[in-house]
Structure 1
């Protein structure tokens, strides 16, 4: 007679997920108190924990259905609700109905993005995300607020611009634009010595003006999605942008899709928490 498997949840990955959830909640509280710089930084901290929990779970073989669901709910708080409230408190509150509708568009799109990601695990192309990933969208909103605070730019003075950026960022999450996931990068492989020097230079550049550099990086990443799509598709239709994509916004022919599906069936599928 075999012993029953002990009940419970894995501590380490769920502890990291909880830390990310706390960071998102902390960002909301800070934005309510008018401390927008701390709120924006907390979102970036949540991104770090979100990137760690899934990788730690795979490294320690502690993946679970509970952990996946918990991670998705935590992401909804940290990368859905928190950035929208930060944007609202920062520059949308004086716009009335237009302001809170712009924030709601972001929240609703984040929820749809996460739900779509969860249903496509194991079926989508690992090289790309379909739509802007929610952590990247949250980083774009938080980076905008952080830069504004660094350069003494009042959010209410440019509320319309804040609303437009918030709304467009939300819509990019539910688009079919393809964004590089960087999952094909071999992080455990060897690299030339010069690569370490380049990494050091990146850290130095980020350290000189973290808010501005991170904001520019995520703006360029958000723009890269439409650029990648338009560059690889001969004729882009409205359905290709916002409809049901054939496969992960990688608009291929039926023969290419069949070949791609066959290759993915014979390879390990990395279900990253970066959703």
Structure 2
């Protein structure tokens, strides 16, 4: 007597399972992932440009990928389209865009002059980026962190590491026209290893995510500054990338100082 009921129940369960399996995905979840995939395509294209000896286009592709990486998370939060899938995809794309692609571009540009030692520096750079991303993924699941730590990254962020790591190339391609010669390769290796150390270390860096709303009285000034920056970047891309890299590197001591100040203030407020 119970067999027909059981059969009907199984069919209903199967239909419900198929309905859940083929349920539509909201567009707001797809848009941030499409931006991430576009950044991934740019990172892979940078590798192609490096093999074709188009170094300038390679570094531009990585720089644009860094901009898109900063946008996809903000777009996801604005559209309420954050997801675990998107976070994993973003992390994998970041490793290619800011670990593998810059390492290959740097090796093709000048590190190859030092043969195996140059390849070693490129490998260390990519490994440091992977370790930085893995640590970031673990830390975002730690909900016990105090709120003030949100103003800082632990270690240099992967996009910043990729852009600042390409500084020797910016200098060569800019109006400064720093020559790419064999004698400079050891200094380039030391610089790349230094950036790798900053990514893998626990040195605090200012977080751009902490930037909030712009006060109304400063909106015009900010818009003017952004427009000027975009125009300068369009007309003098390498020179602007040199300036941005140097400014970012110069901000590290200030971020360390500010982090220690906030750490002491938090400890004093927590003590009885």
TM-score, length-normalised on structure 1?
A: 0.78
**Equivalent residues, number:** 244
Counterparts in 2 of 1:120-269, with a 5 A limit? 120-123=139-142, 124=145, 125-150=149-174, 151=177, 153-154=179-180, 156-187=182-213, 190-192=216-218, 193-230=220-257, 233=260, 251-252=263-264, 255=267
Q: 1:131-168 CA deviation, whole Å, 9 max, x = no partner?
A: 11110111112343133123262254521121111110
Aligned counterparts of 1:255 and 1:208: Cα–Cα separation in 2 = 48
Runs of at least 5 residues in structure 2 that lack an aligned partner in the other structure: 1-11
Distance 1:255 1:232, change over 3 A: closer
**CA RMSD between the two structures:** 2.8
| Match in the other structure for 1:242 | none
Report the CA distance between 1:122 and its aligned residue: 4.9
Find 2:34's aligned residue among 1, 12, 15: 15
Q: Which region of structure 1 is more displaced relative to structure 2, 82-91 or 140-149?
A: 140-149
Distance 1:135 1:22, change over 3 A: same
Runs of at least 5 residues in structure 1 that lack an aligned partner in the other structure: 235-249, 260-275
Q: Is the 8 A contact 2:170 2:241 kept in 1?
A: no
Aligned counterparts of 2:227 and 2:139: Cα–Cα separation in 1 = 36
Aligned counterparts of 1:147 and 1:196: Cα–Cα separation in 2 = 28
Report the CA distance between 1:89 and its aligned residue: 0.7
Find 1:103's aligned residue among 109, 113, 122: 122
Distance 1:256 1:24, change over 3 A: farther
Q: Is the 8 A contact 1:84 1:166 kept in 2?
A: no
Structure with more of its chain in helix, by fraction: 2
Distance 1:97 1:26, change over 3 A: same
Report the CA distance between 1:209 and its aligned residue: 2.4
Q: Is the 8 A contact 1:132 1:225 kept in 2?
A: no
Query: Between Structure 1 and Structure 2, whose CA radius of gyration is higher?
Result: 2
Find 2:102's aligned residue among 83, 89, 105: 83
Distance 1:28 1:177, change over 3 A: same
Q: Which region of structure 1 is more displaced relative to structure 2, 68-77 or 100-109?
A: 100-109
Q: Is the 8 A contact 1:17 1:53 kept in 2?
A: yes
Report the CA distance between 1:69 and its aligned residue: 0.4
TM-score, length-normalised on structure 2?
A: 0.79
